[in-house]
A and B are shown apart, each in its own frame.
Chain A
Amino acid sequence: MDSKYEAVIGLEVHAQLLTDTKIFCGCSTRFDAPPNTNVCPVCLGHPGVLPVMNKKVVEFTALMGLATECAINERSIFARKNYFYPDLPKGYQISQYEEPICEHGKITIELKDGSMRDIGIIRIHMEEDAGKSIHDQGSETLIDVNRCGTPLMEIVSEPDMHTADEAYLYLTKLKQIVTYLGICDGNMEEGSLRCDANISIRLKGETKLGTKTEVKNMNSFRNVEKAIEFEIERQIDILEEGGRIVQQTLLWNADQNKIIPMRSKEEAHDYRYFPDPDLMPVIVDQKWKVEISKMMPELPEKRRDRFIEQYSLPKYDAEILTSSRDLADYYEKILTVTDDYKSASNWVMTEVLKNINDRKITVAQFPVSAENLGKLIKMINENIISGKIAKEIFPEMLSTNSDPNVIVKEKNLVQITDTSEIENVIDGILSANPKQIEEFLSGKDKVIGFFVGQIMKETKGKANPAIVNELLKSKLESKREK
């Protein structure tokens, strides 16, 4: 970015909450149901039906508020946001406007240089989702109202970010928090986390905000970064050419990597917000607040610090292991089987994560159970198998999730630690290779590797390497003395 300018970025994030039922009716929130089946008169907006608040939505949103150090307002109210659209059955969306449930919080991000920065949270509020309009099925527009009434939480940040990278870090952190809280699956591609950005630029040192634009439709973390970068550059180019920024809503087009303005007609909304007379104010009294705070799980930083402390892990390891709640849970589950903290960490950070990334799956979908991985590590530590054998049987565990004890037994892979058995093998190899013994005696130490290879071949890799090394060396040395 041109060093003369500074960008000012605020993000509005919508997170779909993982409640079983919708926000104002008893319908299921399952997203894979056939179109228009998770519906009832309430979410269809039939005449005379009334919304009834789902308490879980209040609890989840308040939990997010507590996790981001917001004030939880004892009284908050729902409002109607009025606009016409066919996938909005009531002709208004029930949301919160004046008096939201959470206000004045922050999310702390760690910048690339290791410094920490607080990004302010203006407010967090509850609302219902609209349905889906499907425009690409011939000349008709089809409507699926399954999503109508799915609970959403909107998190509005202060305009505290200055680069696309900071926005990316903020969003990543926000996703980490919601997934830790277990209130949203954080999947941007599937739309359970949606992000709009308000962007303006100004000369560095200027305190007044420039004219902002709103960028929508960024449906992945990378797209958020790319779109914001694009928009900052676009605004700078306009100012550099002596132009003026127009306040407008823009759509990110990920296929073409560019931003296109929304038709002005579509954004010319007067939502005519007013308090929804069908719903009573939401009262989160002290007692309920205490109950909600009891649901608070250990958050990422705390867990990371505990991992460093309790398991003596390097910060690097702890950071990666606690990057998601599922991964941290997986790691700690391994530790119910083995107490080799560092080996468990190594296995998770290499084999497990590599596999997850290669296959583009989630921790929950990873086929090897933490218990079985723990058993594998334990078998190495108890000298039942070598690390090498462990790496060899891991692919089978990936495809079957079998107990490694069973695999090792079936394939007869138990490590040979019996010295007399290993001695026999060594003696056989040595007597079959007199030429290599000569080489060793003439000072070519490298030939030891040859012998180890032969021994391992003979034992199918099962001989305990430490014992092999020790016995082989003493036998060769004894030949030197003669």
Chain B
Amino acid sequence: MLNYKNHSEKISLIKEDKLSLRENVSFFLDNIKRNSNLNAYNFVFDDCLMQTSSIEQKIKNGSAGKLAGMVIAIKDVLAIKQQPLTCSSNILRDFIPTYTATAVQKLIDADAIIIGKTNCDEFAMGSSNENSAFGAVLNPVDKSRVPGGSSGGSAAAVAASLCDASLGTDTGGSIRQPAAFCGIYGLKPTYGRVSRYGLTAFASSFDTIGPFARNVEDIALVLSVISGYDEKDSTSFRTDVPDFITKLNSIKKFRIGLPKEYFAEGLNEEIHNAIFEKVEYLKKQGFEITEIELPHTEYSISAYYILTTAEASSNLARFDGARYGFRSKEDKNLLNMYVNSRSEGFGNEIKRRIMLGTYVLSSGYYDAYYRKAQKVRRLLKQDFDKAFEKVDLILTPTTPTTAFKIGEKTSDPLEMYLGDIYTTSANLAGIPGINIPIGKDKQGLPIGMQVMANQFDEVTLLSVAQIFNLSE
């Protein structure tokens, strides 16, 4: 068992010789084996044990990086040099990159221990982690249920104590939704806050990388390490990275908005009630709560699926069997090679989205779909800009339901897509959002509350999450 609450406690224990980093990493490795039925990991790096003595040394002599000894799992869409990068897809099953994603490199440079690569929906497309060439991931809270997706492995690994923290990616809710289903914290940073270099693109203008952890301090700590401008990613921002940790406890009386569109029909009543309980708590603490409007919310799912599939159809064109990755044995001529390699290599959800994305970009349809969706995206952003003139934070449910059964929604993609109803807007607008675990429903399934802040205002986001972290 783990006898520390967060990373700073872990460091203290190591310094005081009350915790051996080697034993700690061994515990995680054993725990991964014990829980192999969760299927949270695609690859486990057993040899990470070898790093423990030098890092422990560094911790004791004070020369260690900020994340020294933090055991972190990486979603298998992020490149680590000389380690497989499969994106949980057969088309990349044997691909070994020659480069490391900037976000991962920053973890390594801060002396974190990378313990393995986690399972996810293929190319991060999905909301249940059932679309994986490595098989479905089970929810540690209830193994008959999905952990959410697409970063289901990263969420399950943290929830089941198979690591200290993990990195996931969030294109339309893929960090926040599995965090909600698994009952942990998961943060989607502002678009541009964390370099996307080395992240296999799903939808480039939506994709973000963020942390999962069991406490807010570790979320803040990991975020502070992976953030920052990167010359290898032109869409990363040249803004200063605040010290998220020291600002955690500088809690002011924020103004919080409740968008009425997020509490309309379709929301599970238990989730609704749990959130309003927390709203009452915040009111009592002296926070100003107001109802706000985000009038274009109803179009967000449509705009999201048009734009992300359009980008995906282009981003995934490189997987054609010609130069690397899977190539079909039926490759008599060029067309055969393309058609068969992609037909055999991609799963159904990928094919569905490539077809959808190709369609909305086709001549004659571009204006009706892609261009119109871009317009919706701008309008939605304006909704948020207006809202943030009145409030500092927006509070909503993360998901309309708690974790559903494995197989429950696989036959109905549309119903699966509608599960993203509360999370896609933050990606359309590029703003940060966090899932805060706020309790459980009658079946014992975790309930998540989402808080969103204005662009680059993760400080405010984290400090409100910290209120709940401390009240636990």
Interface residues of A (CB under 8 A from B): 41, 44-53, 80, 82, 84, 86, 89-92, 141, 143, 145, 270, 272-274, 277-280
Contact A41 B314 (CB under 8 A): no
Q: Size range of the interface on B?
A: 35 or more
Q: Nearest Cβ distance between residue A81 and chain B, in whole angstroms?
A: 10
Residue in A48, A273, A280 whose CB lies within 8 Å of B79 = A48
Contact A48 B101 (CB under 8 A): yes
A49-B99 contact given A272-B314, A277-B205, CB 8 Å threshold? yes
User: Bound complex: CA of A280 vs CA of B79, how far in Å?
Assistant: 23
Of the listed stretches B126-134, B156-164, B279-287, B319-327, name the one at the interface; the rest are far from the partner chain. Answer: B319-327
User: Bound complex: CA of A84 vs CA of B370, how far in Å?
Assistant: 21
Chain A residue numbers with a CB within 8 Å of B338 are: 84
Residue in A41, A47, A277 whose CB lies within 8 Å of B92 = A47
Q: Nearest Cβ distance between residue A42 and chain B, in whole angstroms?
A: 9
Contact B233 A50 (CB under 8 A): yes
Chain B residue numbers with a CB within 8 Å of A91 are: 314, 316-318, 320
A51-B200 contact given A41-B97, A41-B99, A82-B314, CB 8 Å threshold? no
Contact A48 B323 (CB under 8 A): no
User: Bound complex: CA of A141 vs CA of B334, how far in Å?
Assistant: 10
Residue in B232, B235, B358 whose CB lies within 8 Å of A272 = B358
User: Bound complex: CA of A141 vs CA of B87, how far in Å?
Assistant: 29
Contact A45 B234 (CB under 8 A): no
Chain A residue numbers with a CB within 8 Å of B95 are: 47
Contact A272 B323 (CB under 8 A): no
User: Bound complex: CA of A84 vs CA of B85, how far in Å?
Assistant: 23
Chain B residue numbers with a CB within 8 Å of A145 are: 323
Interface residues of B in 187-209 (CB under 8 A from A): 196-201, 203-205
Interface residues of B in 307-353 (CB under 8 A from A): 310-311, 313-314, 316-320, 322-324, 334, 338
Contact A80 B79 (CB under 8 A): no
Q: Which of A49, A84, A86: most chain B CB closer than 10 A? A: A49
Chain B residue numbers with a CB within 8 Å of A49 are: 99, 197-198, 232
Contact B234 A274 (CB under 8 A): no
User: Bound complex: CA of A86 vs CA of B311, how far in Å?
Assistant: 20
Residue in A45, A48, A51, A82 whose CB lies within 8 Å of B361 = A82
Contact A277 B79 (CB under 8 A): no
Interface membership of B273, Cβ < 8 A: no
Interface membership of B363, Cβ < 8 A: yes
Apart from the given pairs A48-B200, A80-B314, 20 other A-B contacts in the complex at a CB distance below 8 Å: A47-B79, A47-B85, A47-B200, A47-B318, A48-B79, A48-B85, A48-B99, A48-B198, A48-B199, A49-B99, A52-B234, A91-B316, A143-B323, A270-B363, A272-B358, A274-B310, A277-B203, A278-B234, A279-B234, A280-B234
User: Bound complex: CA of A53 vs CA of B233, how far in Å?
Assistant: 10
Interface residues of B (CB under 8 A from A): 77-79, 85, 87, 92, 95, 97-99, 101, 196-201, 203-205, 231-235, 310-311, 313-314, 316-320, 322-324, 334, 338, 358, 361-363, 366, 370
Residue in B198, B234, B322 whose CB lies within 8 Å of A53 = B234
Q: Would you call the interface of chain B mostly helix, strand, loop, or mixed?
A: loop
**Nearest chain B residue, comparing its CB with the CB of A92:** B314
Chain B residue numbers with a CB within 8 Å of A86 are: 320, 322-323, 334
**Nearest chain A residue, comparing its CB with the CB of B203:** A277
User: Bound complex: CA of A273 vs CA of B201, how far in Å?
Assistant: 18
**Nearest chain B residue, comparing its CB with the CB of A131:** B323
User: Bound complex: CA of A409 vs CA of B78, how far in Å?
Assistant: 73
Contact B199 A274 (CB under 8 A): no
Q: Nearest Cβ distance between residue B102 and chain A, in whole angstroms?
A: 10
User: Bound complex: CA of A62 vs CA of B77, how far in Å?
Assistant: 38
Contact B196 A50 (CB under 8 A): yes
Chain B residue numbers with a CB within 8 Å of A273 are: 361
Chain A residue numbers with a CB within 8 Å of B92 are: 47
Contact B361 A274 (CB under 8 A): yes
Q: Which of B231, B317, B363: most chain A CB closer than 10 A? A: B317
Chain A residue numbers with a CB within 8 Å of B205 are: 277
24 cross-chain CB contacts under 8 A: A47-B318, A48-B77, A48-B201, A50-B196, A50-B235, A52-B231, A82-B361, A89-B323, A90-B318, A91-B317, A91-B320, A92-B314, A143-B323, A145-B323, A272-B313, A272-B314, A272-B366, A273-B361, A274-B310, A274-B314, A274-B366, A277-B204, A277-B311, A278-B235
Contact A47 B196 (CB under 8 A): no
Residue in A45, A47, A84, A270 whose CB lies within 8 Å of B97 = A47
Contact B362 A272 (CB under 8 A): yes
Q: Nearest Cβ distance between residue B308 and chain A, in whole angstroms?
A: 10
Chain B residue numbers with a CB within 8 Å of A80 are: 314
A84-B320 contact given A41-B97, A48-B85, A50-B232, CB 8 Å threshold? yes
**Nearest chain A residue, comparing its CB with the CB of B123:** A47
Contact B363 A48 (CB under 8 A): no
Chain A residue numbers with a CB within 8 Å of B235 are: 50, 277-280
A50-B234 contact given A82-B317, A91-B320, A278-B204, CB 8 Å threshold? yes
Q: Nearest Cβ distance between residue B381 and chain A, in whole angstroms?
A: 15
Q: Nearest Cβ distance between residue B203 and chain A, in whole angstroms?
A: 8
Chain A residue numbers with a CB within 8 Å of B311 are: 274, 277
**Nearest chain A residue, comparing its CB with the CB of B201:** A48
User: Bound complex: CA of A86 vs CA of B337, how far in Å?
Assistant: 10
Q: Nearest Cβ distance between residue A25 and chain B, in whole angstroms?
A: 10
User: Bound complex: CA of A53 vs CA of B231, how far in Å?
Assistant: 10
Q: Nearest Cβ distance between residue A64 and chain B, in whole angstroms?
A: 23
User: Bound complex: CA of A106 vs CA of B36, how far in Å?
Assistant: 68
Chain A residue numbers with a CB within 8 Å of B79 are: 47-48
Chain B residue numbers with a CB within 8 Å of A279 are: 234-235
Contact A52 B310 (CB under 8 A): no
A270-B362 contact given A44-B323, A48-B78, A143-B323, CB 8 Å threshold? yes
A45-B233 contact given A272-B362, A274-B310, CB 8 Å threshold? no
Contact B314 A48 (CB under 8 A): no
User: Bound complex: CA of A64 vs CA of B99, how far in Å?
Assistant: 37
Chain B residue numbers with a CB within 8 Å of A52 are: 231-234
Q: Nearest Cβ distance between residue B98 and chain A, in whole angstroms?
A: 6
Residue in A46, A48, A51, A141 whose CB lies within 8 Å of B324 = A46
Q: Nearest Cβ distance between residue B328 and chain A, in whole angstroms?
A: 14
User: Bound complex: CA of A270 vs CA of B332, how far in Å?
Assistant: 25
**Nearest chain B residue, comparing its CB with the CB of A53:** B234
